[in-house]
Chain A
Amino acid sequence: MLKFISSFVVCLTAVVFCTNLGLAEKPQSTEDALAAGKSIYDKVCYICHGSEGKGDGPSAFFMAAYLAPRPRDFTVGTYKFRTTPTGEMPSDEDLFRTVTNGVPGFMPSFQGLSESERWEVIFYIKSMSSAFAETPAVDPIVIDNRPAPTASSIQRGREVYKELKCWDCHGHNGLGDGPSTNNMFDDLKMKMFAQDLTKPFTFRGGDTPEDIYRTFMTGLNGTPMPSYAKSLEGREKDAWHMVNYILSLARPKRPTP
């Protein structure tokens, strides 16, 4: 009986996990789906991203007048939140995840749209940049199992943090107050500041261990945050230790309701 229950729980967790990541069956990008996506985009997305997807919608300036991040310019084909290596285009699932989860502080979650509506709007967004058609799809990075956040893992993570000079932007205590943080600009030449690592709930790429690992290993295209995949090639465990270290910096989490 216990075995049955545990199997049921595992299956249920897998279903929920897959649903949350948008791994439900993806529809085909047809003309109808594109038209439906445009219709959704013209209702919702244009307000920030502009009717032509240039990131210049009616609300765009007020959201980030003089500080990054402005709403994404879909015509350029530069995306921050990816599972693909640095400089590459995102996968469809990456886009789906961003639309589903939003970007903390700047873009709401659009879970209120059905999954098929989210896919439709992604097809439409992709049609705004030729880069998707011109760039061959690449495999996402491998995100393997996270080691337990033991004291030694966190200690090792801190050593890696120092070795890779993360403190230069994020500060010695992760407060986002490193010496370079005042000289950071994104690809729109907009001033930006390094992330305060003590507030994971404000991480724009997500605050799960996998999200942090992904951000670390793929970088954020269009920003000063580089990928550390090459620096840690063959040392992926060290990347995980640093994830554990970063999560150990977190102040008490946002109170749950």
Chain B
Amino acid sequence: MSKRLFKAPGLQLGPIMFLLFILFAFSAPNDAAALPAYARKYNLRCNVCHTREPRLNPFGEKFMENGYQLPGTEDGGLTGKINLGPVSLDPTRYIMAVRMRAQALEWFKFTDKGSGEEFENQLNIAAPDILNILFAGTLKKNISYFFELEGNVRHEEFGLERGFFILNNLGGYNIAGLRVGKFDPSPYFSYPTHRQFLLPIQPKVEEGEALPGALKRAPLVPNAFAVKFFGLFDGEGNGLLPLLPFFFNSPAELGIDLHGRPFGPAFLYQVGMLQGGGADVEDFNQEKDFYFMGRVDLGSSNFLSGSVSAFYYMANSSVRVPGMVMNPDTGMMQMGPGEFGDVTRWGIGANVRWKMLDLYGAYIADKVESTDKIPMMMRPNFDEDAWGLTVELDILAREWLMLSTRFDHMNAGGMKAVKANNTVLGLQAKFYPVDNFGFIIRNDINLEDDGVHPLQRTRNSFMVGAEFAL
């Protein structure tokens, strides 16, 4: 995710990766030996930790909370370890996994009243999109690590997506787990940013054009997690796409955080500090972001479980508010990245699971606190509040079939002249011929199609894809 959304596509690797993907996927043996690292390590099926891959079930959540160690135990030193002085490693097959995601075929229809074209259909045969290589495990009892390399095949990018260490059970079982590194802040929230059944779908832009004018299809992501403001910029002065997951819901940021359940199994706390939304390693001069989250868990029998969470996130000087800058070509003043400003975000999330049903959602509200840093003449045209709502229902209709529907609404903020709301209904069926391979058919309907605004031009988006983990 992140800034890759803005880059032009490159397809040179595509056909090769697609062929590899097909070969790889259908040669997967259908038994326990074919499952990813943790499943291999513990000789368990995927479904022990997942409702269905990739979403975690309550056991998987406990496993993650315990620093990728079995709930209630710390078995980091038990399996066949390779000793490396004071620490040890599991064999490669127990710590390494590969995941591929592909939108193999996509068709979308949009209205472009601005250019005079009433309707246009576009059909793409796409290459596999994302390749992830993960290394995760325990170095020693209660010391865990997680590294994820991500390659975007279309954009020909490859890099560290996440990488962190966790010191587990500091001060006693479940008292405190300390994460340090580049991580996603929200894995313990009732609706975490990662592990979506409806994969993030990237925007479609006119070849060679820049956003936002040439946007044919807006990205399809949980709107509650998004930036939501029109007219904000990142630290380097690049425009922030309003539908980019950010702040507490960033896919990964540099930081440090603590979580635990010191008051009993029902309540989980989390506090943390991040380098800043979208900040890189060099961002030492900016203020840090702080957040805290609380979660109450419910249900322990009758196939029922649930949770309610709330968080508050202070993004201090994480973004740049709109300002006036000189266009070097024309010598005229125009809107551009201004001063660094503060944004606060709070949200509530909830999740209920009962038998085959898994219902979860989040309402997340944002406020630009530093409106005083916006030039006086622009302030009346800037809406400092925004909110988003995302609700998803997953139904495990058969052992091999997960049906999902997601409602997204973004009540946008920012520059009033250019902002627009976004409301999308997504429907998806995901088939699992084997535990670690998902075949996806998905359709997203834009409920606010006006044919003019870049976010509202798409009428319908259909996608056939696949997801595979080994």
State whether these chains interact: yes
Binding site for B on A (CB under 8 A): 40, 42-44, 46-48, 50-52, 54, 56-67, 102, 104-113, 196, 199, 201-202, 254-257
Bound form: Cα–Cα A66–B60 in Å: 20
Could you mark each residue 325-362 of chain B with 1 if its beta carbon is under 8 Å from any beta carbon of chain A, else 0?
00000000000000000000000000001011000000
Is B94's CB within 8 Å of the partner chain A?
Answer: yes
A108 near B300 (CB under 8 angstroms)?
Answer: no
Also in contact, A59 and B45, with CB within 8 A (given A40-B72, A46-B300): no
Tell me the nearest residue of chain A to B43, going by C-beta: A104
> 5 tightest CB-CB pairs across the interface, nearest first?
A112-B73, A257-B91, A58-B305, A44-B72, A112-B75
Q: List 8 A-B contacts (CB under 8 A).
A: A43-B72, A47-B58, A65-B399, A108-B48, A110-B73, A112-B69, A113-B72, A257-B90
Also in contact, A47 and B44, with CB within 8 A (given A42-B265, A54-B301, A104-B32): no
Is B213's CB within 8 Å of the partner chain A?
Answer: no
B43 contacts which chain A residues (CB < 8 A)? Answer: 102, 104-105, 108, 201
A254 near B33 (CB under 8 angstroms)?
Answer: yes
B300 near A50 (CB under 8 angstroms)?
Answer: yes
A54 contacts which chain B residues (CB < 8 A)? Answer: 301
A110 near B355 (CB under 8 angstroms)?
Answer: no
B45 near A47 (CB under 8 angstroms)?
Answer: no
Residue among B48, B52, B75, B80 facing the most chain A CB atoms (10 A cut-off):
B48
A47 near B301 (CB under 8 angstroms)?
Answer: no
A58 near B44 (CB under 8 angstroms)?
Answer: no
Query: Whole-angstrom distance from the CB of B186 to the nearest CB of chain A?
Result: 20
B58 near A106 (CB under 8 angstroms)?
Answer: no
Query: Whole-angstrom distance from the CB of B54 to the nearest CB of chain A?
Result: 13
B45 near A112 (CB under 8 angstroms)?
Answer: no
B300 near A57 (CB under 8 angstroms)?
Answer: yes
Bound form: Cα–Cα A42–B47 in Å: 21
Could you mark each residue 76-104 of chain B with 1 if its beta carbon is under 8 Å from any beta carbon of chain A, else 0?
00101000000000110110000000000
Tell me the nearest residue of chain B to A58, going by C-beta: B305
Residue in A43, A44, A57, A109 whose CB lies within 8 Å of B301: A57
A110 contacts which chain B residues (CB < 8 A)? Answer: 70, 73
Also in contact, A44 and B71, with CB within 8 A (given A58-B299, A106-B45): yes
B57 near A59 (CB under 8 angstroms)?
Answer: yes
Interface of B is mostly: loop
Bound form: Cα–Cα A110–B48 in Å: 15
Query: Whole-angstrom distance from the CB of A179 to the nearest CB of chain B?
Result: 21
B396 contacts which chain A residues (CB < 8 A)? Answer: 61-62, 65
Query: Whole-angstrom distance from the CB of A41 to the nearest CB of chain B?
Result: 9
B32 near A105 (CB under 8 angstroms)?
Answer: yes
Bound form: Cα–Cα A58–B398 in Å: 18
Residue in A47, A52, A107, A111 whose CB lies within 8 Å of B71: A47
Residue among B31, B94, B299 facing the most chain A CB atoms (10 A cut-off):
B31
Bound form: Cα–Cα A220–B91 in Å: 34
Tell me the nearest residue of chain B to A191, going by C-beta: B399
Also in contact, A199 and B398, with CB within 8 A (given A46-B301, A58-B299, A257-B93): no
A44 near B353 (CB under 8 angstroms)?
Answer: no
Also in contact, A48 and B31, with CB within 8 A (given A40-B72, A63-B47, A66-B398): no
Also in contact, A63 and B48, with CB within 8 A (given A104-B43, A105-B43): yes
Task: Tell me which residues from 3 to 54 in chain B have a Cβ below 8 Å from any Cβ of chain A.
Answer: 31-33, 42-45, 47-48, 50-52
Bound form: Cα–Cα A64–B50 in Å: 11
Bound form: Cα–Cα A47–B58 in Å: 7
Also in contact, A65 and B356, with CB within 8 A (given A59-B58, A110-B70): yes
Is B62's CB within 8 Å of the partner chain A?
Answer: yes
A48 contacts which chain B residues (CB < 8 A)? Answer: 59
A111 near B356 (CB under 8 angstroms)?
Answer: no
Residue among A102, A105, A199 facing the most chain B CB atoms (10 A cut-off):
A105
Other A-B pairs beyond A61-B396, A105-B32, A201-B43, 5, CB < 8 Å: A59-B305, A66-B399, A105-B43, A111-B78, A256-B80
B50 contacts which chain A residues (CB < 8 A)? Answer: 62
Is B123's CB within 8 Å of the partner chain A?
Answer: no
Bound form: Cα–Cα A141–B51 in Å: 39
B303 contacts which chain A residues (CB < 8 A)? Answer: 56-58, 60-61
A196 contacts which chain B residues (CB < 8 A)? Answer: 31
Residue among A51, A58, A105 facing the most chain B CB atoms (10 A cut-off):
A58
Could you mark each residue 115-150 of chain B with 1 if its beta carbon is under 8 Å from any beta carbon of chain A, else 0?
000000000000000000000000000000000000
Residue in A47, A62, A111 whose CB lies within 8 Å of B51: A62
B302 contacts which chain A residues (CB < 8 A)? Answer: 50, 56
Tell me the nearest residue of chain A to B48, going by C-beta: A63
Query: Whole-angstrom distance from the CB of B397 to the nearest CB of chain A?
Result: 9
Also in contact, A112 and B74, with CB within 8 A (given A48-B59, A257-B93): yes
Query: Whole-angstrom distance from the CB of A49 to the nearest CB of chain B?
Result: 9
Query: Whole-angstrom distance from the CB of A120 to the nearest CB of chain B?
Result: 12
Also in contact, A201 and B32, with CB within 8 A (given A59-B57, A65-B399, A106-B44): yes
A40 contacts which chain B residues (CB < 8 A)? Answer: 72
Query: Whole-angstrom distance from the CB of A18 to the nearest CB of chain B?
Result: 19
Bound form: Cα–Cα A196–B62 in Å: 31
Query: Whole-angstrom distance from the CB of B354 to the nearest CB of chain A?
Result: 8
A58 near B58 (CB under 8 angstroms)?
Answer: yes
Tell me the nearest residue of chain A to B304, going by C-beta: A58
Also in contact, A47 and B32, with CB within 8 A (given A58-B303, A65-B356, A66-B399): no
Bound form: Cα–Cα A110–B71 in Å: 10
A57 contacts which chain B residues (CB < 8 A)? Answer: 58, 300-301, 303
Query: Whole-angstrom distance from the CB of A109 to the nearest CB of chain B?
Result: 7
Query: Whole-angstrom distance from the CB of B143 to the nearest CB of chain A?
Result: 15
B73 near A113 (CB under 8 angstroms)?
Answer: yes
B353 contacts which chain A residues (CB < 8 A)? Answer: 58
B398 contacts which chain A residues (CB < 8 A)? Answer: 65-66
B52 contacts which chain A residues (CB < 8 A)? Answer: 62
Bound form: Cα–Cα A109–B80 in Å: 14
Also in contact, A257 and B80, with CB within 8 A (given A56-B302, A58-B299, A67-B399): yes
Bound form: Cα–Cα A201–B40 in Å: 12
A60 contacts which chain B residues (CB < 8 A)? Answer: 303
A255 contacts which chain B residues (CB < 8 A)? Answer: 93
Tell me the nearest residue of chain A to B354, going by C-beta: A61
A106 near B48 (CB under 8 angstroms)?
Answer: yes
Also in contact, A47 and B62, with CB within 8 A (given A62-B396, A67-B399, A104-B43): yes
B304 contacts which chain A residues (CB < 8 A)? Answer: 58
